[in-house]
Structure 1
Amino acid sequence: MKAAKKIGLFGFGTVGKGFYENLKKHPHIPVVIDKVCVKRIDLPRIGHELYFTNNPHEILEDPAIDIVIELIDDAAAAKVYVEKALENGKHVISANKKMIGESLEEVDLWHQVYEPSFLYEAAVGGGIPIVHSMDGFLHDQEVVKIRGILNGSSNYILTQMQQNQWTYEKALLDAQHKGFAERNPKLDISGIDASHKLSILAYHAFGEIHSNKSFEIESIETVSEADIRKAKSKGRKIKLVATLQRRNRVVECSVKPEFVGPDDELYSVDFENNAISVEALISGKHVFVGKGAGALPTGSAVIEDLKRVLGNYRYRTTLRPSLV
């Protein structure tokens, strides 16, 4: 029997706890959480006997740690930890869409330079296996268009505003209470969070790096009660839609509220659910739907990446075929 691989975990918030709870349900996976790095080790943590530290070097410099899992909300610190872990020969799994989306040039270099795997399924779409699908079945096809709901928090808020006539403020508080929105929801409601995910999808769809600074981005805060009444009168819903389209080799990216009708695949995707539609030149349209926010769906994506790491899986980040 193979010895269990040792994990160094950064972060024990909503996603970190979700990963921990998911991992307990998979005793067949030959891994053990050896150390957990958090900001504060004085906080009471009940129901487990994990070793906590606030010194990242206890994980990064420990030769016994095989895999680093980064689940913190500090993008700058995450970037440092991920690069150092890879440099020290450790596989890395991350859910940090902000860090990855804003550092794709470095991420691309890490894929090329370092031997260990760097995987981040949980950074896009929560429990939807979109990155793996782009890197697998869809890799050898030309992707024409990607369109979807990529932020569960904003979708939850818009759903409550439209179905139950809640105010924006009430819907936001409820989303935060249920763990769908962060304490500081700015990235979610502004469309920036979805734009980071769109940048990552562009990288895997086209093998190209596109900064969200060039995207057309609009917040759900611009959605008024009058907009909601208008949509309802026309039998439509308002969704924060992320779109990535390639026309004549030019990639166009946007994240903005849109009216969608019953014939749209995004129409019935409500609450914290996400949906991603991928149009490929050969196999046509593929629609992925699933939980896009919350501890357990995101934690499940980390588990799947963990299984892939144990199988020495690496992303194929070469330029994709162009058949136009």
Structure 2
Amino acid sequence: MKNHKKIGLFGFGTVGQGFTEALKKHPHLPVDIEKICVKRLDLPRINHELYFTDNPSEILDDSDIDIVIELIDDANAAKQFVESALINKKHVISANKKMIGESLDQVALWHTEHSTSFLYEAAVGGGIPIVHSVDGFLKNQEITKIRGILNGSSNYILTQMQQNKWTYEKALNDAQKKGFAESNPVLDVSGMDASNKLSILAYHAFGEVTSMKSCELKSIEEVTETDIKKAKHQGKKIKPIATIEKINGGIHCSVKPEKVGPQDYLFSVDFENNAISIDTLTSGQHIAIGKGAGALPTGSAVLEDLKRVLSGHRYAVKEAKKVLA
């Protein structure tokens, strides 16, 4: 690869714009955004100096582009773009948790079949470098359990409902306006988004591709005003908690609203913040807290992956042990 790298970017929504803003703050990096592929060219663009196209081939088939960054919301299209880029020997960075979480068997093959890097920190913890931690230092600690708040949108909605007595609809609408929740919030509020993130973490933590079909999911839409009042009366809060752990050789997974008290570290994690605890046999519990949604936190995670690509970093995961039904 050349000393100065060229980037092909797919998507220029909340995360795409957050990434470009974060990149501007690091002018020393030997990279340039060469082209940006979007669905519609007729939309007004603030960054008029950037080159926009609606033809994916302009990026995928361009031999001058070294790194492809995929930041779109279409999981099927994202999978095609990522695979094509890897086949064309380009390094790839993605934030598409749905595509990665539901295609981990394929992702495992990509890691073994291609010599270029495929990184996706932004797909899991937003501004928390949790994949890098699980795939690195913590991997040798024998991880037994992962628990936390993995969806900033759901946490923001529940926080507003409890602190300010907002209705679910008002809190959701505000989360969408702030860029925390998608226009179609089903994946966020149902728990599916967090379950995809759990599957990615389980892959790196346990070396196994885990089916999320048996994961217990409960939507935050089911949280009622009565539930909130009862929790408050008990001195507790309701949080959207995702858990995955190894029990008797199997893996148990759940994503659901749960009541937590002040003694729980998740009690004070409010609004769009995420928090993740990793339990290990060797060094005990490790906790990370940070912004889990929004343009700059997620865009910054993409930027950190870019720095890792430039340094030649690849994930330690080689081949998944097995597929758990």
Give the CA deviation at 1:197: 0.3
SS at match of 1:214: coil
Q: Does 2:201 correspond to 1:201?
A: yes
**Residue equivalent to 1:301:** 301
Q: Does 2:229 correspond to 1:248?
A: no
Measured in 2, the distance between the counterparts of 1:211 and 1:180 equals: 27
Give the CA deviation at 1:67: 0.1
Q: Does 2:143 correspond to 1:119?
A: no
Residues 193-237 of structure 1 deviation map (CA, whole Å, 9 limit, x = unaligned):
001000001101100011221101110011011000000000000
Residues 2-51 of structure 1 deviation map (CA, whole Å, 9 limit, x = unaligned):
74200000000000000000000000111000000000111111244100
**Residue equivalent to 1:110:** 110
Give unpaired runs (5+ residues) of structure 1.
none
SS at match of 1:139: helix
Give the CA deviation at 1:163: 0.4
**Residue equivalent to 1:60:** 60
Structure 1 letter corresponding to 2:91? H
Contact 2:272 2:292 in 1 (8 A): yes
Residues 155-196 of structure 1 deviation map (CA, whole Å, 9 limit, x = unaligned):
000000000111000100110111111111110000000010
Distance 1:40 1:319, change over 3 A: closer
Measured in 2, the distance between the counterparts of 1:318 and 1:254 equals: 26
Measured in 1, the distance between the counterparts of 2:302 and 2:47 equals: 21
Query: How many percent of aligned residue pairs carry the same amino acid?
Result: 73
Contact 1:206 1:319 in 2 (8 A): no
**Residue equivalent to 1:233:** 233
Q: How many residues align?
A: 320
Structure 1 letter corresponding to 2:192? I
**Residue equivalent to 2:21:** 21
Residues 224-256 of structure 1 deviation map (CA, whole Å, 9 limit, x = unaligned):
110000000000000010001111211101101
Contact 2:108 2:320 in 1 (8 A): no
Measured in 1, the distance between the counterparts of 2:208 and 2:254 equals: 16
Contact 1:141 1:320 in 2 (8 A): no
Give the CA deviation at 1:319: 6.9
Matches within 5 A, 1:75-114: 75-114=75-114
**Residue equivalent to 1:275:** 275
SS at match of 2:213: helix
Contact 2:202 2:209 in 1 (8 A): yes
TM-score by length of 2: 0.97
Give the CA deviation at 1:318: 4.0
Measured in 1, the distance between the counterparts of 2:204 and 2:58 equals: 33
Measured in 1, the distance between the counterparts of 2:63 and 2:126 equals: 31
**Residue equivalent to 2:129:** 129
Contact 1:140 1:320 in 2 (8 A): no
Measured in 2, the distance between the counterparts of 1:249 and 1:143 equals: 13
Measured in 2, the distance between the counterparts of 1:298 and 1:55 equals: 25
Measured in 2, the distance between the counterparts of 1:40 and 1:181 equals: 21
Say what the alpha-carbon RMSD is for the aligned residues.
Answer: 1.2
Measured in 1, the distance between the counterparts of 2:213 and 2:16 equals: 29
**Residue equivalent to 1:285:** 285
Structure 1 letter corresponding to 2:240? L
**Residue equivalent to 2:221:** 221
Structure 2 letter corresponding to 1:242? A
TM-score by length of 1: 0.97
Distance 1:238 1:262, change over 3 A: same
**Residue equivalent to 1:192:** 192
Structure 2 letter corresponding to 1:189? V
Measured in 2, the distance between the counterparts of 1:89 and 1:147 equals: 36
Residues 54-104 of structure 1 deviation map (CA, whole Å, 9 limit, x = unaligned):
000000000000000000000000000000000000000000000000000
Measured in 2, the distance between the counterparts of 1:3 and 1:230 equals: 60
Give the CA deviation at 1:320: 9.6
Give unpaired runs (5+ residues) of structure 2.
none
